[in-house]
Structure 1
Amino acid sequence: MGSPDYSDGCMIALYPPAELAEELAVDGGLPPSELHVTVAYLGKADDIDGDELRQVVAELAERRPFTAKVAGLGRFTGGDKDVLVALIDSPDLESLRRDTLDALREHGIPVPREHGYTAHCSLTYLDPDEPAPLDRLAARDAEFTALAAVHGTDRTDAELSHPIADVAREAFAAGWAMSGGPMTERVRVACGTAMQIATEATDDPDILRATIDLGRLEGMWALLFQRREEQQVKHTKLVGAAWEPLIDRQAVTTAVDGFRAQMGLAEARGPDWSRVRAEAVAAAKKMLYALIDVTGFGKLRQALRDAIAAGRAEGVVNAVAIAAERGAQVGLDWNIAFKDAYRSMERLDELWADADGWLARTLDGAAGDLGSALADGMEAGLTRDEMIDAAMDILTADEGAVAFTVDWAMTTAADEGALALYRSEGVLQIDIITAGDGRVCSSCIDAEAGSPWHIGDQPRMPLHPSCRCCYAADVSLAHFASWFA
C-alpha cells in the first residue's frame, strides 16, 4: 500500500508526543515521526514563502500548550486511496484553526478550499476494498506543546507559549528567590500551575503580584520541608552513633548461641516455625533490653531526647514561618528562631518521658527485626557464624529500626511543637498541608481537603511513618519579633 508523496507540500501542523505517535502507528502505515494533525494545508511549497510561513507560526505559537482527545477512528473515502485516521477533538484546536486562517489571510497566504476541516491524524492509506488494520482506537489524551511550519522537507517547530507565560515564570522565580528555598519538584509543579493561571487571567492587573506571592509561598514550603529533612538526617546519624557501640558482637553471639541451644538445632526435625519465631523474638528482646544497664545507654537516651527537642523546635519555627507568610511578613531568620526555640526545650522535663517511650519503641522494633533474622537464619540452615553476621547486619543497618524510630519521633515532635504553639496563641482552627511529595497518601490528601479543622478535632499528625504533612494557622507574631530581621 503506497502513501501519497507530500514532500513538496506546505502546511501548518501539530505533531503528537513521540510516545503517543508510537502508540498510534500501525503496521505498514505512516512511521511515527510523520504522524501529525494538519491545522492548515497550503498546497505546493514552491508557491509559499517559507520565511513568511514561519513568521505566521511564530505568531500563532503565542498561546498555551493544550491537550486534545484522540476520539476514535475514521476512514476517509472518495480518492484513489482511503485514509484511516485518528479523529482529534479539542475546542483549543478549533480556536487554533480559526486563528490560523486569520493569520494566513493577514500575511497574504491563500488556503486551498477544496475540503472542509475535520481534525485528524492520518495513520495509513488503504485500497478502497482493503480491510482496516484495526477497527477500534481507545480514547486517550494528546498533549500539543509546539506548532510546526512544514515547508517541503523543512520542518520548523515553535513552542507554544503565551506571551505572559515567560513573564509569569520570571515573577514566580523572583518570589521563590525571595524565600531562599530550594528548587524542588513541588516548586517546579507550582511554577507551571502559576504560569497557567497567569495566562488565564491576563486581564487581572494584580496577576503578576499574585504570581510573585505564589513563588515566595512555594519557596517557603520547600525551605520548611528541606530544614525538617536536614534535622532528620542529622539526628538520625547522632542517635545511630550512640546506638552502634551498644551492639556488642559478643552479646549478639551469646544471644545466637542461646537461641540455637534452646531450639535444639542439631536434633530439630520439622520444627513449629511459629514457635521458632516467637522464641527468636523473645531471645532478641532479652538481649536488647539488657542494653538499658549497659554503659553508654545514657548517651543513646540523651541523643534521642535531643532529636525530639530539635523536632519540637523546628515545629515551632515552622508554625511561625507559615504565619509570617500568611501575614506577608518577611525577614524571618530561621536559624536564630530555631536556636531560640531549641533553648526553650531545655526546661521541658516531659521530653525525657518522650525519649523513654521512643527508646522502648526502638528496642521493640530492633527486637522484631533481629528475631525475624534469627528465625529466617534457622529456616535457611545458616551456620552459627552466618547467623551472627546476619544479626549484626540487622542491628547496625542504616535503614533499620533506629532510623525508622528517630524519623517518626522527630516528625511527631515537630507536629506537637506546632500544635502547642497554636494552642498557646489561642488558635481555634488549623489547616493541614501536605508536602506534595511521593510520601503523600490518600489519608494525607483527605486530611488536607478537610481543612480547616477545629483544634482537638483534627487528625493527629503524623498520619503514617515518614509523613511530612504539617499543621498551618494564622497567629500573631508579636511574641516573635526578635526572630525577624
Structure 2
Amino acid sequence: MGSPDYSDGCMIALYPPPELAAQLAVEGGLPAEGLHVTVAYLGPAAGVDGDALREVAAELAARQPFTAQLAGLGRFTGGTKDVLVALVDSPALEDLRRDTLDVLYERGIQVPREHGYTAHMSISYLDPDEAAPLDRIDAQPVEFTALSAVHGTDRADTPLAHPMESVAREAFATGWALSGGPMTDRVRTACETAVSIATEAADDPDVLRATIDLGRLEGMWALLFQRREEQQSLHMAEVRRQWRELISRDDITVMVDRLRHQLGVTEAVDPGRLRVEALAAAKAMLRALADLSGFSALRIALRNAIAAGRAEGMVNAVAIAAERAGKVGLDWNIAFKDAYQSMERLEDLWADAGGWLGRMIDGVAGDLGRTLADGLEAGLDRDALVDAAAELLTGDAEAVAFTVDWAMTTAADEGALALYRSEGVLQIDIITAGDGRVCGACIDAESGSPWHIGDQPRMPLHPHCRCCYAADVSLAHFANWIL
C-alpha cells in the first residue's frame, strides 16, 4: 500500500484536530499528521511562488472558524491506486473553495482542473483489488481553526479569524475597563458572545459602540456580584465568630448525657423515637443560647449583616439605573457608606435580625439532631458523640452560613425595592446573573418583566439566588454617587 509522493507539490488545505487525525489514521496509510482536506491543489511547488501562496492563505483566513461534518467513507477508483477517503461536508467549506479559486485567479495562480471537487480527507492508497482497512466511520463534527499554505515540505498555518474579531474584542475590553469590574468567567463568556455578535453584524456602523456598552455592562455586573460576595463573606465571618463564642463543650457534654440517659444507652430504641428525642435535645440546648450574655452580640452581628445587605441593594439599584442612563461609573464606596448610614435608625432591622436568628437556630438544631441520631445509631460512645456535635457546632456551621447568605440576599432585594418605591417607580424588571447557574424559575421571572411593583415575584426565589430588581430612576438624588 504505497502512497504517492506529493512532497514537491503545493496547495491550500485544512488540517483536522490532531486527536481526530489519530483516530482516522490506519496502519499502512497516510500518517495522522498528513491527513488534510485539500481546498485547492496547485501542482508542483516549483511553479508557484511560496510567499504569494502564503499571502493568499492569510487573506482567505479572514473568516470565522467553522465546523464541518464527517459524512462517511468513500473510495475513489480509476487510477493505478484506489484512494480510501473520509468525506467532509460543510457549506462553509464550499464557500472557502469558491473564494480560494477567486483569490488565486486574481493573483494569476492557475489551478489544475482535471477533476471536479469533492471535499475529503485521503486516508489510505490501495491496490484496486485490495480490501479497505475500514468498513465505516461514524458521522462526527470536525472543527477547522486554521488555513494552511503548503509549499513543498513547508507548511504555514494561519488561524481563521474574522477581521472584526480582534477589533470587537478590544472594544469589549475597553468597555469592561471603564466599569472597573473584575474579570470573571461570566465576563469572559460575555466577551466571546459579544465578539460573535459583532462579527455577524460587522457592516453595522454602530456595532463597536454596542460592543463597548456590552463590555461596560458586564463589568458592572461582575463588580456588583463581587461586592455582594465580599460583603457576605465579611459579615458571615463575624456572625460565625459570635456564634462560636456561644458554644461551650461543657454544654454539649451535658446535652449528650441527658439524651443518652433519657434514651437508655443499653436498650434498643426505636429509630423514629431516637430522632425525635435527638432533635428535641438539640433544640433545647440551642434555644438556651438566648439566655447567654453573648447572644446580644450575635444578634447585633446579624443585624449589621442585614443592614449591609439592604445598603448594598440600594447601591446596586442606583448602579443599574446609572448604567441604563449611560453614566460611566459609580463611586461604590461613597454610595455604600451613605446607604448604610441611612439604615442606622431603622428599628425593623432588629425584628428582622430576631426572625433570622430563629431560623438559624432551627437550622442548626436540625443538623445537630441528625448528627446525634446518626451517631447513636452507629453506636458512638459518649466522647465520640460530644466530638461530633462540637465539630458541627464550631466548624463550618453550614446552617449559620446558609442563614447569613439568605438573610443578606433578601435584604439586598428589599433595599433595591425600597429605593425604587421611594423614587416613585411603578414598574421593575427582574434580571438574572446570565450564566449557567441560572435556574428555570429565575429565567421565567426575567421573561415576565416588566412587573408592576407589588405584583413581582418576591426575591430571592431560592437560596444563593443572584437575580436583581432593575428599573430606571432619576439620578438627581444620587449625584454625589456618580463619577
Q: What TM-score results when the alignment is normalised by the length of structure 1?
A: 0.92
Please state whether the residue corresponding to 2:344 is helix, strand or coil.
helix
Please state whether the residue corresponding to 1:97 is helix, strand or coil.
helix
Kindly indicate whether residue 107 of structure 2 is the aligned counterpart of residue 102 of structure 1.
Answer: no
TM superposition shift of 1:186: 1.4
Which deviations, in whole Å up to 9, do the C-alpha atoms of 1:262-284 show, x marking residues without a partner?
Answer: 3323333xx43233222222211
Name the % identity.
74
Please state whether the residue corresponding to 2:143 is helix, strand or coil.
strand
Segment drifting more, 115-124 vs 385-394: 115-124
Q: Is the 8 A contact 1:439 1:468 kept in 2?
A: no
Letter of the 1:248 partner, please give it: S
Q: How do 1:437-448 and structure 2 match up within 5 A? A: 437-448=435-446
Q: Is the 8 A contact 1:181 1:219 kept in 2?
A: yes
Which deviations, in whole Å up to 9, do the C-alpha atoms of 1:422-445 show, x marking residues without a partner?
Answer: 222232322222223443222223
Alpha-carbon separation, structure 1, partners of 2:81 and 2:256: 80
2:296 to 298, 320, 330: 298
TM superposition shift of 1:397: 2.7
Alpha-carbon separation, structure 2, partners of 1:365 and 1:25: 60
Letter of the 2:104 partner, please give it: L
Letter of the 1:360 partner, please give it: G
Aligned residue number for residue 12 of structure 2: 12
Kindly indicate whether residue 380 of structure 2 is the aligned counterpart of residue 382 of structure 1.
Answer: yes
Aligned residue number for residue 359 of structure 2: 361
Q: How do 1:35-434 and structure 2 match up within 5 A? A: 35-125=35-125, 128=128, 130=131, 133-135=134-136, 137-138=138-139, 140-268=140-268, 271-398=269-396, 400-434=398-432
Structure 1 residues 264 and 437, CA, compared in 2 at 3 Å: closer, same or farther?
Answer: farther
Segment drifting more, 160-169 vs 145-154: 145-154
TM superposition shift of 1:346: 1.3
TM superposition shift of 1:251: 1.1
Alpha-carbon separation, structure 1, partners of 2:28 and 2:447: 50
Structure 1 residues 363 and 12, CA, compared in 2 at 3 Å: closer, same or farther?
Answer: same
Letter of the 2:389 partner, please give it: A
Structure 1 residues 402 and 97, CA, compared in 2 at 3 Å: closer, same or farther?
Answer: same
Q: Is the 8 A contact 1:73 1:137 kept in 2?
A: no
Which deviations, in whole Å up to 9, do the C-alpha atoms of 1:70-92 show, x marking residues without a partner?
Answer: 44444444445544444333322
Please state whether the residue corresponding to 1:266 is helix, strand or coil.
coil
Structure 1 residues 19 and 305, CA, compared in 2 at 3 Å: closer, same or farther?
Answer: farther
Q: Is the 8 A contact 1:168 1:195 kept in 2?
A: yes
Please state whether the residue corresponding to 1:346 is helix, strand or coil.
coil
Q: Is the 8 A contact 1:53 1:149 kept in 2?
A: yes
TM superposition shift of 1:305: 0.9
Which deviations, in whole Å up to 9, do the C-alpha atoms of 1:275-301 show, x marking residues without a partner?
Answer: 322222221111111111112111111
TM superposition shift of 1:11: 2.2
Alpha-carbon separation, structure 1, partners of 2:73 and 2:452: 53
Alpha-carbon separation, structure 2, partners of 1:430 and 1:20: 50
Segment drifting more, 271-280 vs 72-81: 72-81
Moved over 6 A (4+): none
Q: Is the 8 A contact 2:70 2:141 kept in 1?
A: yes
Q: Is the 8 A contact 1:439 1:466 kept in 2?
A: no
Alpha-carbon separation, structure 2, partners of 1:124 and 1:451: 59
Alpha-carbon separation, structure 2, partners of 1:25 and 1:15: 13
Alpha-carbon separation, structure 2, partners of 1:279 and 1:27: 71
Q: Is the 8 A contact 2:255 2:281 kept in 1?
A: yes
Alpha-carbon separation, structure 1, partners of 2:169 and 2:71: 33
Structure 1 residues 348 and 86, CA, compared in 2 at 3 Å: closer, same or farther?
Answer: farther
Letter of the 2:313 partner, please give it: G
TM superposition shift of 1:261: 2.4
Alpha-carbon separation, structure 2, partners of 1:338 and 1:79: 79
TM superposition shift of 1:316: 0.8
Q: Is the 8 A contact 2:72 2:136 kept in 1?
A: no
Q: RMSD value over aligned CA atoms?
A: 2.4
Alpha-carbon separation, structure 2, partners of 1:436 and 1:213: 16
Q: What TM-score results when the alignment is normalised by the length of structure 2?
A: 0.92
Q: Is the 8 A contact 2:323 2:329 kept in 1?
A: no
Please state whether the residue corresponding to 1:280 is helix, strand or coil.
helix
TM superposition shift of 1:28: 6.9
Q: Is the 8 A contact 2:442 2:461 kept in 1?
A: yes
Q: Is the 8 A contact 2:178 2:328 kept in 1?
A: no
